[in-house]
Chains A and B, each alone.
Chain A
Amino acid sequence: QVHLVESGGGVVQPGGSLRLSCGASGFIFSDSGMHWVRQAPGKGLEWVTFITYDGSNKYYADSVKGRFTISRDNSKSTVNLHMNSLRPEDTAIYFCARGGTSGPVENWGQGTLVTVSS
């Protein structure tokens, strides 16, 4: 059974940084691409970033490009999201999710809440 558990959320001031982590189990992590998708309070889903199974390719939404960095450690079955220069509009639940390149998002974690506020 696929299990994705996010951690690292919290309250941060505008301009600050935060690192989210996602631990994965129940599937061959090194064969799977991984996404981060976010959802602002009461709003819809926004795709944020994707990393291929081997970490060789990374893709970002324009809204986070240059500020967020996705990375993975296949030896630990974890994927991380480093978030810099945070803005109030980055406030959201951040979901870690599994999916292939050019494939649907197959599995989702429960999410971790990031609040950017002074």
Chain B
Amino acid sequence: DIVMTQSPDSLTASLGERATINCKSSQSVLYSSNNKNYLAWYQQKPGQPPKLLIYWASTRESGVPDRFSGSGSGTDFTLTINSLQAEDVAVYYCQQYYSTPYNFGQGTKLEIK
């Protein structure tokens, strides 16, 4: 099984600042035949279901603000949120869909100062 580990567990940043969340997989999620990383990022606000933000490690889902960006390859990935807004308060999860079980990271709670 591929284990997903996020860091940090929680993060506090100021409005307008940049927030960076890391995700590490226990084995590569890069599929060599198509050069795609099978890695997604989700945002979950309190009382709501998760929402897909980023897939293939760096492709933004339709309607997601361009303040959100994903990067990385192989086993190390980053979600960057620029110009933090109050509505970005949420828990963020990474997930690999390279192989079952499609494990999630433990989540990173983002708060605004």
A residues adjacent to B (C-beta < 8 A) = 35, 37, 44-47, 50, 59-62, 95, 99, 102-111
| Chain A contacts for B55, CB-based, 8 A | 103-104
In chain B, residues 85-109, which have Cβ atoms closer than 8 Å to a Cβ of chain A? 91, 93, 95, 97-98, 100-107
Most buried by A among B55, B98, B105: B55
| Chain B contacts for A108, CB-based, 8 A | 49-51
Contact A105 B100 (CB under 8 A): no
Q: Per DSSP, are chain B's interface residues mostly helix, strand or loop, or mixed?
A: loop
Q: Which of B1, B38, B40, B106 contacts A105 (CB 8 A)?
A: B40
Contact A47 B49 (CB under 8 A): no
- B81–chain A nearest beta-carbon distance, Å: 18
Contact B100 A104 (CB under 8 A): no
Judge whether B42 is part of the interface by a CB distance below 8 angstroms: yes
| Chain B contacts for A110, CB-based, 8 A | 49
Q: Per DSSP, are chain A's interface residues mostly helix, strand or loop, or mixed?
A: strand
- Interface bits B19-48 vs A (CB < 8 Å: 1, else 0): 000000000000000000010101010000
CA distance A95 to B93 in the complex (A): 15
Contact A103 B100 (CB under 8 A): no
Contact A104 B40 (CB under 8 A): yes
- A69–chain B nearest beta-carbon distance, Å: 16
CB-nearest residue of chain B relative to A45?
Answer: B104
Contact A44 B100 (CB under 8 A): no
Most buried by A among B38, B50, B102, B107: B102
Contact B95 A105 (CB under 8 A): yes
Judge whether B52 is part of the interface by a CB distance below 8 angstroms: yes
CB-nearest residue of chain A relative to B99?
Answer: A102
Contact A50 B100 (CB under 8 A): yes
